[in-house]
Amino acid sequence: MAEEKYQSRPMSPRPAKVIVRFDQQQRKLLDFLRKEATFGTEDGEIIRNIVLDYLAQQKELRSKPARSQRLPARNRGSRR
């Protein structure tokens, strides 16, 4: 499995396109962010900038030893 993942890892320096499926409620969040005009105006642009901002935030958190080292796991949940 590890080998398979390694082989599927993007090696060539070219842009990657990811198709992300959002439902209408999730798109409302995109609308809120679009109104803020901080992260862009197009859906794909907003998602990209948000994802990169989150990764930057996590990197900053990890760099501070007093804080938690863990990244949020998928099953950490949002207490629906």
Residues 6+ apart with CB under 8 A from 16: 10
Residues 6+ apart with CB under 8 A from 78: none
Residues 6+ apart with CB under 8 A from 69: 62
Q: Between 10 and 49, how does the x/- string for binding to another protein read (CB under 8 A)? A: x-xxxxxxxxxxxxxxxx-x--xx---------xx--xx-
Residue 45 CB, nearest approach to another protein (Å): 8
**Which residue ranges make up the site for another protein (CB under 8 A)?**
5, 9-10, 12-27, 29, 32-33, 43-44, 47-48, 50-55, 57, 61, 67-68, 71-74, 76-79
